[in-house]
Structure 1
Amino acid sequence: MDIKPIRTEADYQAALREVESLMTAEFGTPEGDRLDVLATLVEAYEAKHFPMEVADPVEAIKFQMDQRGLTVKDLEPMIGRSNRVFEVLNRIRPLTLPMIWRLHKGLGIPAEALIQPPKRTAAV
């Protein structure tokens, strides 16, 4: 198979080119196995060199609302009455552990994102 670690930007770019060329490889074939190993190496390199910041919990909720076409009423089973939902979305009230659990289960938002303290907005 002759695969080597990705240590430099040049190694990374070469691995990306090879991954792209293998994108149509069948699972279980030598090419598919090579794609699987290269993708794992690329993912590890990217995690180390291009870390992703965990999303702000309120922004994560708003993103899911936008993506799914949800309204405040749709969030009531997960957060509480509409006034409570508005308080959370306006950063007045923090999420509680039960809210976090229900949002994670109901919307698939990673728990890591929901347990982060929300970013404060500037006072107007």
Structure 2
Amino acid sequence: MEIRPIRSEQDYQAMLREVAAYFDAEPDPGTPEGDRFEILLTLLEAYETKHFPISAADPIEAIRFRMEQQGLSVADMKPYIGSSNRVYEVLNGKRRLSLAMIRRLHSGLGIPASALIA
């Protein structure tokens, strides 16, 4: 089982192709093929974390995303944020989210609290 580090984009693409073949028929854990698959996934994850970092979502982006997902309007956000004016202030970045707003958005719309606190 020869496995090498990912040192270039070409290595990365080759490893992606190799791992893709495993997804059609995922090997059983604990087998030589299963171990290889797990090691390749670990290498890919490490490379992607280093070269393609994902920054934390902005709280306003998280709210707008959920509004878009669920087809919500400013009026639909009143129970979570407050009056229409307050909703607009929050969405335009002129007012910060309060702890109560964060709790209501999290419990009512399922927006992760970690995204709202950021």
> What TM-score do the two structures reach when normalised by structure 2?
0.73
Distance 2:68 2:106 in 1: 16
Deviation at 1:44, TM superposition (A): 2.1
Q: Is contact 2:27–2:37 with CA below 8 Å preserved after alignment?
A: no
Task: Report deviation, 1:105.
Answer: 3.5
The alignment status of 1:79 with 2:81, answered yes or no, reads: yes
Of 26-35 and 6-15, more deviation after overlay is shown by 26-35
Contact 1:25/1:32 (8 A) holds in 2: no
For 2:86 and 2:48, the matched residues in 1 are separated by 39
User: Percent of aligned positions with the same letter in both sequences?
Assistant: 62
Shift of the 38–105 alpha-carbon distance from structure 1 to 2, 3 Å rule, reads farther
Report the TM-score, using the length of structure 1 for normalisation.
0.70
Q: CA RMSD in A?
A: 2.6
Aligned to 1:99: 101
Partner of 2:12: 12
Which structure's CA Rg is the greater one? Answer: 2
Structure 1: which 5+ runs fail to align? 117-124
CA distance 1:48–1:22, change in 2 (3 Å): same
In 2, Cα distance between the equivalents of 1:5 and 1:14? 12
The alignment covers a number of residue pairs equal to: 116
CA distance in 2, matches of 1:5, 1:101: 44
Per-residue deviation, 1:90: 2.0
Deviation readout 1:11-63 (Å, 9 max, x if unpaired): 32221111222221246364555444433331221111111222222122111
